[in-house]
Chains A and B, each alone.
Chain A
Amino acid sequence: DGGITQSPKYLFRKEGQNVTLSCEQNLNHDAMYWYRQDPGQGLRLIYYSQIVNDFQKGDIAEGYSVSREKKESFPLTVTSAQKNPTAFYLCASSSRTSGSQNEQFFGPGTRLTVL
């Protein structure tokens, strides 16, 4: 089965703790993305990576960090500097060679709750 996996599905953390969300894809996609979803806010881009060992900030990168050491993996760390981390986090990937559409495929998401 090809696709994107995110783990865990639900995550609870105490305020002030860093937490890392996992995202793995076996679609052989070059590009990977992290979005944050809040009710009524749509999807907002946190970070994205076009290639291994390279990544760029999105619209709301403050308080987050990422790494891209392998093509298949793009973990997101929510740091204690993120003021309001409780949200639904979505990972996506796309192929740079998929033609004009460059469709983004999404994982099932991780719901993070900070207590």
Chain B
Amino acid sequence: QQQVKQSPQSLIVQKGGISIINCAYENTAFDYFPWYQQFPGKGPALLIAIRPDVSEKKEGRFTISFNKSAKQFSLHIMDSQPGDSATYFCAARRSGYSTLTFGKGTMLLVSP
């Protein structure tokens, strides 16, 4: 049973465009939603995270939008750059737990 569903599986965006990756969850006990960025052959690194009491969080060109009633959250990358080409994972953590449940990932390619 996949608890966090991520789409699309892959995405190609022109340089300067907006990249949008979506995630949906079922478990209402989730209380923390991070996004990780992973370059080939490397470990993932935390990009940005949000809690469900906030509808949007922005850090530089990266924005998380959170819709609690729809149980969905998304990552927006503004002014996408070739250096943003990587695999992005959404994740969710249950209240009171330390473990994360990950989506299956989105491979983003930003063309020059």
Binding site for B on A (CB under 8 A): 4, 31, 33, 40-45, 48, 50, 58, 90, 92, 94, 96, 100-109, 111
Contact = CB atoms under 8 A, between A and B. Distances in A.
Interface stretch (B11-19, B62-70, B98-106): B98-106
B99 A90 contact: no
Interface string B69-102: 0000000000000000000010001000011101
Give the secondary structure class of A's interface.
strand
Chain B's interface size range is: 20 to 34
Residue of B42, B46, B99, B105 with most partner-chain A CB within 10 A: B99
A50 B46 CA distance: 20
B34 A42 contact: no
A106 B45 contact: yes
What 7 pairs across the A-B complex have the smallest Cβ distances? A106-B43, A42-B104, A43-B102, A42-B102, A106-B44, A108-B43, A42-B105
